[in-house]
């Protein structure tokens, strides 16, 4: 049994790994062709939302790293 959420899951509820996994799937489907214009547009929009979600996760990780580095630098300066 997989713990991967269904493809229609709200993007804001996805972890980075799930959003990236689905984004790879969307890109593969678009590259394969064969979808109607309407399906392709829906896939493109989903892919854009997934890419944005991945970027939000990465920005959050960068912010946490910057904060941890700043805290470490402050700790070193105070000792």
Per-residue pLDDT tens for 20-33?
999 999 999 999 99
**pTM (two decimals):** 0.79
Give percent above pLDDT 90 in the chain: 76
- Which residues 6+ apart lie within 8 Å of 13 measured at CB? 5
Per-residue pLDDT tens for 48-65?
999 999 999 999 999 999
Torsion sign (Cα): 10, 16, 20, 22 = negative
The mean pLDDT of 3-16, rounded to a whole number, is: 82
Q: What is 13-77's CATH number?
A: 1.10.287
């Amino acid at each position: 049994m997989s713990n991967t959420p269904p493809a229609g899951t709200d993007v804001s509820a996805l972890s980075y790994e799930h959003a990236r996994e689905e984004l790879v799937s969307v890109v593969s489907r678009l590259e394969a062709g064969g979808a109607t214009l309407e399906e392709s547009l829906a896939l493109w929009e989903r892919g854009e939302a997934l890419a944005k979600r991945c970027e939000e996760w990465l920005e959050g990780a960068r912010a946490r790293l910057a904060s941890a580095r700043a805290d470490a630098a402050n700790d070193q300066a105070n000792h």
